[in-house]
Amino acid sequence: MILVDRNQMQAIDKYAIDTLKIPSLCLVERASLAVLKNINLNKFGYFAVIAGVGNNGADGLALARNLLARYKDVEIFIIGDIAKASDEFRLNLESCQMLCEEIFFIESIEDLENMEKRLSNVNLIIDAIFGTGLNRPVTGIFSTVISILNNVMKYKVSIDLPSGLDASTGNALGEVVDADLIVTLQLMKTGLYEREAYKKKCVVEDIGIPQKAIDSVLYGLVN
């Protein structure tokens, strides 16, 4: 099994997008479908997607869009500065806004209370707050959101890795989502593999990154 740390995974993504010209939006879509593949839609029908504004959040919104397209009930909660959102996030947000009645933006205590109340009605939570790129302590409202998710006794699926976890070391960067299933994308992350508690909850799903990108980065053929 190939293991990659944060920097290696980011370099592989960059090589695939910048050098091999794989559209980032295509990778986001493949990621969303990879997660969808691991959800039993006969068992779960009412979802909450908690999304940050980066490409992990874009994966989450693409998943929400695919669930909405299948006439599933989806609550969408956004956390983070929309002004800093990725293009892939924005495109999927626009689509979700056309498909559902309301999207909730988490900015205040009242928003947190509303989220906690609404989460009591769903039967599966998608964690799409932070991805592999997280390299700083989780604080403030982000920490509070993760704490709320952990206190809600619902099945949780994390996209790529649980939000709050260091992809390279497996160390907690503050609060970490207590996921029941982790769908890690393309390659196993070192931080997941070296921590049995996370490793046993992991499935690795191909999202279409060419092997050439992986080989080029791991064998030192790119900077």
pLDDT one-digit tens code per residue, 95-125: 999 999 899 999 999 999 999 999 999 999 9
Q: Which residues contact 58 (CB under 8 A, 6 or more apart)?
A: 28, 51, 86, 88, 89, 91, 92
Distance CA 49, CA 72 (A): 12
pLDDT interval class at 1 (50, 70, 90): confident
**Average pLDDT for 186-210:** 95
The runs of H, that is alpha helices, within the chain are 6-14, 24-37, 55-69, 87-99, 109-119, 140-151, 190-193, 196-199, 211-218
In terms of phi and psi (left: phi > 0; alpha: psi -120 to 50; beta: otherwise), the region of 186 is left
* pLDDT digits 0-9 by tens, 69-102: 999 999 999 999 999 999 999 999 999 999 998 9
* pLDDT score for 221: 63
* pLDDT score for 222: 53
pLDDT interval class at 4 (50, 70, 90): very high
**Average pLDDT for 196-218:** 94
* Structural domain boundaries in the chain: 11-218
Q: Which two tokens stand for residue 222?
A: 């790119």
**Over pLDDT 70: what percentage of the chain?**
99
**Average pLDDT for 2-28:** 95
pLDDT interval class at 45 (50, 70, 90): very high
Q: Which residues of 156-180 are buried (b: 16+ CB within 10 A; e: fewer)?
A: bbbbbbbbbbbbbebeebbbbbbbe
Q: Which CATH architecture has domain 11-218?
A: 3-Layer(aba) Sandwich (3.40)
Please give the model's pTM, rounded to 2 decimal places.
0.94
Is the pLDDT assigned to residue 215 strictly greater than 70? yes
The four Cα atoms 99, 102, 106, 109 give a dihedral, to 10 degrees, of -160
Is the pLDDT assigned to residue 25 strictly greater than 90? yes
Is the pLDDT assigned to residue 223 strictly greater than 90? no
Reduced to 3 states (helix: H, G, I; strand: E, B; else coil), residue 57 is helix
**Average pLDDT for 173-182:** 96
**Mean pLDDT computed over every residue of the chain:** 94
Q: Which residue has better confidence, 1 or 17?
A: 17
pLDDT interval class at 219 (50, 70, 90): confident
